[in-house]
Amino acid sequence: MIAGYALVALAALLWGCIGPLSKYAFLAGMPPLEVAFWRTAMAWVLYAAHAAYLGRTKMAGADLPWMAAFGVAGIAGLFGSYVLAVEDGGAALASVLLYTAPAWVALLAWRLLKESMTTVKLIAVAATVLGVAGVSLGNGPGGPVRLAAIGFGLLSGFTYALYYIFGKVFLPRYPTPTLFLYALPVGGLALLPFVSFGQRPWWGWLACAVLAVCCTYGAYMIYYAGLKRIEASRAAVIATLEPLVAALLAFSLFGERFTTLGYAGSGLILAAVLLTVLKR
């Protein structure tokens, strides 16, 4: 059980770097959806090689439509909406809005996976949602938060919630590399129309490569290993370490900061994480 918490927390630390790395790619002249495309394409090479190494490249025909749907919603939907939220509202705001996901996960896991909805889960999810609201409302000392940033952030939270349900349903049948071997190309094709294929400086490509290798391939492999050991709704709350990491990096590198209400919201998120970890 403890190992599962540790794995999910490590994945959250890696995911917390997505927003700041994306901003470096933006500074290199890459549009947001192009960054999402190259993240998807580069990560697919790693997953394809891993699946081939394991000898697990086959999938039942009945599962292929589900992989395609997840590719559109979970890959293109999440990767695309998240970088658009980063562009419109900053890395810190995008990351905390992503964590409307635990509320969706708790409901979806309760209804679809038949997981119990305990009092502790309700309290933890409620604290997470309130924390996210506080951080969102407290952000933007230079002016009000743009509606587009909120919309893209909430969309990323909804699509992010699908990962927990998707993993619980399909991980018993397929290893992680096999799932992404099929889902990533579909997501890449959905993002392809937004790619211009122009010349970019080397550090833009480096940012995309780190996004693919560390924040996508590495983080998802680690996360799904943890998801096998703990319930989906618990994993969702533990992973809320991600916005704290993203906020710290955004402040250190780009000067993004929260107001007092924002910091109070961050404290609620951390309290929800500690409540879940220390329950036993």
Rounded Cα distance between 184 and 36, Å, is: 11
Rounded Cα distance between 184 and 180, Å, is: 5
Question: Is the full-model pTM beyond 0.95?
Answer: no
Confidence of residue 145 (pLDDT cuts 50, 70, 90): low
Is-contact 275 118, C-beta < 8 A? no
Rounded to an integer, what is the distance from CA 234 to the centroid of its chain? 15
Tally Cβ neighbours within 10 Å of residue 158: 17
Q: Which of 60, 10, 37, 34 is nearest to 214 (CA)?
A: 10
pLDDT in tens, 230-268: 876 677 777 778 888 888 888 888 888 777 777 787 778
Helices (H), the chain: 2-15, 18-27, 32-54, 64-70, 78-89, 91-98, 101-112, 119-138, 147-170, 176-191, 202-212, 219-227, 232-238, 241-254, 260-277
Confidence of residue 269 (pLDDT cuts 50, 70, 90): confident
Spatial CB neighbours of 252, under 8 Å, sequence gap ≥ 6? none
Rounded Cα distance between 177 and 125, Å, is: 30
pLDDT in tens, 65-93: 999 999 999 999 999 999 999 998 888 88
Q: Between these two residues, 117 and 26, which has the higher pLDDT value?
A: 26
User: What 3-state DSSP class applies to 264?
Assistant: helix
State the amino acid at position 113 in one-letter form.
L
Please say if the pLDDT value at position 141 is more than 50. no
